[in-house]
Amino acid sequence: MIHKTAKGISIPALGLGTFELTGPDGTAAIRSAIEHGYRHIDTAVRYGNEAEVGQAIREAGVPREELFVTTKVWFDRLAPEQVRESIDGSLERLQLGHVDLLLVHWPGTEVPLSETLAAFAEAREAGKTRSIGVSNFTVALLDEAIDACGAELVANQVEYHPYLAQEKLLASARKRDMLLTAYQPIARGEVFKDPVITRIGEAHGKSAAQVTLRWLMQQDNVLAIPRSSRIENMKANFDIFDFELSAEEMAAISGLDRQDRKSDFEWAPEWDKP
């Protein structure tokens, strides 16, 4: 497993997204992923499955120090006291003493960012999280968080796949010793229909999803958290460390960008222009 590091925090580069993995089936899927080698598990209060994630971790029997667990605070809970309540609730549902990364799930507009991030830093100092970060932040919001608020952010989790370039965010992350975590990395399965990615996969004996995840793994400062409920897909997504894409193949995949955003909501910030 490849690890990538920012601010002295080492994170498994390939993680498991757990959105919609709920109930007994969700617990079983997450436990199976851990048993098959996943060590980076991503959840959120909003997903409603922190209890399932915690149960899967306990049932898998992997030492806690080998796991990297991320959770998130929803954008309507960003006042300092709400942040404290959110992280305490997360730890109770997970039945963990701490998480490894705590993220602002989406930027809010009702609470000054400085107050939110001060509460996040307080949680880190209290040992409730090893590190802090953000999700769905633009370059301007990162500038505000870091330059204006002095936040020591480890990661920015955003939508990133071959059809949505994130060059400005990547440049900002690299400049600031941060990681960019790609969610929806296979574009909701759209890569399976792509002739360029399929052709590259055939050359390596790999699927389009495996090629896409490998493309992400070979980029500096990039992590990926594909989500799947089927263990065969989880295993296949993990089987990407035995081949390497050429510079030409990397460029061909990067050239597929068409600014096709899959996740956009009324509460989203004004996105960076390409």
User: Which residues are marked as active site?
Assistant: 47
Nearest to 238 by CA among 250, 252, 224, 249: 224
Q: State which H helix or E strand residue 203 sits in.
A: helix 195-204
Q: Is 13 exposed, middle or buried (0-12, 13-18, 19+ CB in 10 A)?
A: buried
Nearest to 160 by CA among 241, 69, 224: 224
Nearest to 72 by CA among 48, 95, 55: 48
CA angle at residue 26 from 15 to 20, to 5 degrees?
A: 75
